[in-house]
Chain A
Amino acid sequence: MTRGVLLGPQRLHPIVDKAADMLGIDGRIAAVTAGWQEREAEDQELCAALGNRAVNLMLHARAETAFREDPELFAAHRAKQDRLRQLQDLYRLRLASHLKAARRVQQAQAPRDLIESELEEAVQAIRLLDAHHVVKTQHIQRDFDRKVKPLERPAVVKQLKEIEAILADCAGVAIAGGHVAVLYNRLRLFDLGPRLADLPIIAWSAGAMVVASRIVLFHDSPPQGRGNAEVLEGGLGLFPGVVPLPHARRRLNLQDPGRITVFARRFAPATCVALDERCFIHFDGPRWSAGANTFQLRTDGHLVALH
């Protein structure tokens, strides 16, 4: 079982150094900042926060290089991403009606027990939809792996060898946030899930999202649209049992028990964890513990401290 610490945002009050201490990382740390996209190399603050012992894996740039060297890989990757986007749009359409139904049931004027049983079924329908969506995304990803065989292509193999050489010299991994889909795709392109699993991992924001078993996109009050949380893909699955929710206070309406209960029940038995600044959850083998002021969204609609 992978050891690790999942954190909230690190920009203003970084605690990555404390996380490294918690994990007893004594040595170099492989940094993944692919979620920053073209800013990937602007990692000076991160390196300083980690005690100047980080070496950036440069996954975003490596993928760009591989795509440049292997146009067929690039075209196939883009086609896969287009298909995933189209699938996401269709899933989103169905999800909107499912979530609307659950909310209308919650607001209905009827005996409590009837509402509760109908709500349970409405949430089950959402869970089923989410699960099917994950399976469909996995099919698309596996289809790509089977047909394109990225790990056998010279352009990828060359990069992978260099990545493995860096990892062999590292005692831990730090995965920063940023664009969650880009980050996940780069990790997946180089099949880094299994390769990182043996090292202690510090991951925050989008980084924390991609190492979980499900990547959940969320914002309760975006300026456009309904703010329906949605599952993107399955994630690397290195830290099962939690749904990390970075910037929860800004992104979620935590004062609304109705929204919290649907959210938490939808992803149960996984624990929905609000990861704001200075918050963390520490995985030590199969057990995990949380830092002070780290909260769980509970199925009864309440927010409770996990500490």
Chain B
Amino acid sequence: MPAMNTRLNPPTKLAIQSLLAHGPVDAAAIDRFLRTHSFPLIEGRNATFVYRGPGDQVNLRHWVFGLGSSQPFTRVGNSDFWFHTLELPPQSRVEYKLEVILGGVGTWIRDPLNPNLAHDPFGANSVAHGQGYKTPAWTEHDPEARPGTIVETQLEGTPLGTQRVSIYLPARFRESRRYPLLIVHDGGDYMRYAALKTVLDNLIHRLEVAPLVAAITHPGDRIGEYPNNPSHAAFIAEHLLPFMESRYPLYAAPAARCLMGASFGGVASLSTAWRYPGTFGRLLLQSGSFAFTDIGESKRGPVFARVVEFVNAFRESPGKPSDKVYLSCGTYESLIYENRSLVPLLQSTGMEVKYEEARDGHNWENWRDRLRSGLSWLFPGPLWMVYE
């Protein structure tokens, strides 16, 4: 295991320790240090973050569950140079910001020395890549991959009112063929922040995923619609699904219908399948917000009240909502306990379950990076047989 090797063989001395080893550090030495390294500086299991600029205090603010969410930097002497070294296991991906406090006012900024950014609906964060992490090539534009197309449509008269749906048709789409259907929750965010279209184009081009049609949905009020909302489930199962099967050449069989979602979208996927058993034979659930209580009240607040109510009911009586479920979660998420807990429960229903963890957080690039594994397991492509 690489992790074991690096633990056993850490760098003899970190670069920051070498810089500080010989007493006071002058501005020229700091300049040289900044010029000759990239940041955060990854050395084995250690990541050294630095900041140069005015401040009374600098903190690393991150979303790694289990670590203090605010990690104070150390100022070097009386200089404007600050650093903090954090353990960062191999293959990790950590999104973070720097909090610079000056005159009692704290400002969160992206790391000026780190060009790696991850975007989400709230803006962008800096990203630290642990040793060995590499952005998967299949998430990036491949000029050789034939692009699919997106068709915009509106569904009127659904229980949620008029709903916008973006429909992904794979490259070389033909009416005479039959395709599986992937229904995506938070579809716009999956497209924007998890490169969903590029990923589908690439994985289909590489023959790793079967050509499929995706219905990419756009929630209005996801906090209201997603946690076990009967109107949402009816929209998906009674309006969107029949619409898609009447309009496009789809295999009208549970094994060819997948609900997919992350976070609350995972709850929406599972709860819809639970309300319509025998309809959706495939589920792709990423970092689902599957909060539950064994006793007493949940501490996650009112937003989770209906989630907890649903997950508790589901745990009590899961039935068999689907046939094959891919589940993933980041080990740096607060939801890791809930997702791990769900695995044996899902397995006990007779469903085939594949569960994967990654050293990552509750974010879109984590969900992007797991798509190859999830989609190729649920809808395997003809990779083994086709040589074009």
Tell me the A residues contacting B by CB distance below 8 Å. Answer: 9, 11-12, 35, 38-39, 177-181, 205-206, 209, 217, 219, 222-224, 246-247, 250
Contacts and interface: CB of A to CB of B under 8 A. Distances in A.
A11 B376 contact: no
B388 A180 contact: no
B387 A177 contact: yes
B384 A217 contact: yes
A205 B387 contact: yes
| Residue in B172, B382, B383, B386 whose Cβ sees the most chain A Cβ within 10 Å | B386
B199 to A, nearest CB: 12
Interface in B160-215: 172, 174, 176-177, 206, 208
B38 to A, nearest CB: 25
Contact of B387 (A12, A178, A222, A224): A178
Interface SS of chain A: helix, strand, loop or mixed?
A: mixed
B386 A178 contact: yes
Interface in B331-384: 372-373, 376-377, 380, 382-384
A179 B386 CA distance: 4
| Residue in A177, A179, A217, A223 whose Cβ sees the most chain B Cβ within 10 Å | A223
A39 B172 contact: yes
Contacts of A39: 172, 174
B217 to A, nearest CB: 26
A222 B388 contact: no
A217 B144 contact: no
B67 interface: no
B387 A206 contact: yes
Nearest to B373: A223
A236 B385 CA distance: 17
B384 A206 contact: no
A219 B385 contact: no
A164 B376 CA distance: 42
A180 B377 contact: no
B385 A217 contact: yes
B388 A11 contact: yes
Nearest to A181: B385
Interface residues of B, number: 19
Contacts of B382: 179
A219 B176 contact: no
Given A38-B174, A38-B176, A38-B177, A224 B388 contact: no
Contacts of A209: 387
B236 to A, nearest CB: 27
B385 A222 contact: no
B383 A12 contact: no
B177 to A, nearest CB: 7
13 contacts: A9-B387, A9-B388, A177-B386, A177-B388, A178-B387, A180-B386, A180-B387, A205-B388, A209-B387, A222-B376, A223-B372, A223-B373, A250-B206
Given A38-B174, A38-B176, A222 B383 contact: yes
Nearest to A246: B387
A180 to B, nearest CB: 6
Contact of A179 (B172, B177, B380, B385): B385
Contacts of A12: 144
| Residue in A179, A181, A217, A222 whose Cβ sees the most chain B Cβ within 10 Å | A222
Given A11-B388, A179-B386, A223-B383, 16 more contacts: A35-B386, A38-B174, A38-B176, A180-B386, A181-B385, A205-B387, A206-B386, A206-B387, A209-B387, A217-B385, A219-B383, A223-B372, A223-B373, A223-B376, A224-B380, A247-B387
A11 B174 CA distance: 20
| Residue in A219, A224, A246 whose Cβ sees the most chain B Cβ within 10 Å | A224
A69 B373 CA distance: 42
A206 B387 CA distance: 5
Contacts of A206: 386-388
Contacts of B383: 219, 222-223
A192 B385 CA distance: 21
A253 B174 CA distance: 34
Contacts of A246: 387
B207 to A, nearest CB: 9
A219 B386 CA distance: 11
Contacts of B174: 38-39
A217 B177 CA distance: 25
B388 A223 contact: no
Nearest to B380: A224
A223 B208 CA distance: 7
Contact of B384 (A9, A205, A222, A247): A222
A201 to B, nearest CB: 17
A228 B373 CA distance: 18
Contact of B388 (A38, A178, A219): A178
Nearest to A10: B388
B169 to A, nearest CB: 16
Contacts of B373: 223-224
Contacts of B206: 250
Contacts of B176: 38
B44 to A, nearest CB: 24
Contacts of B177: 38
A205 B387 CA distance: 5
Given A38-B176, A38-B177, A39-B172, A224 B386 contact: no
B372 A219 contact: no
Among all A-B residue pairs, the 5 with the closest Cβ atoms: A223-B376, A206-B387, A205-B387, A246-B387, A177-B388
A242 to B, nearest CB: 15
A224 B376 CA distance: 7
Contacts of B208: 222-223
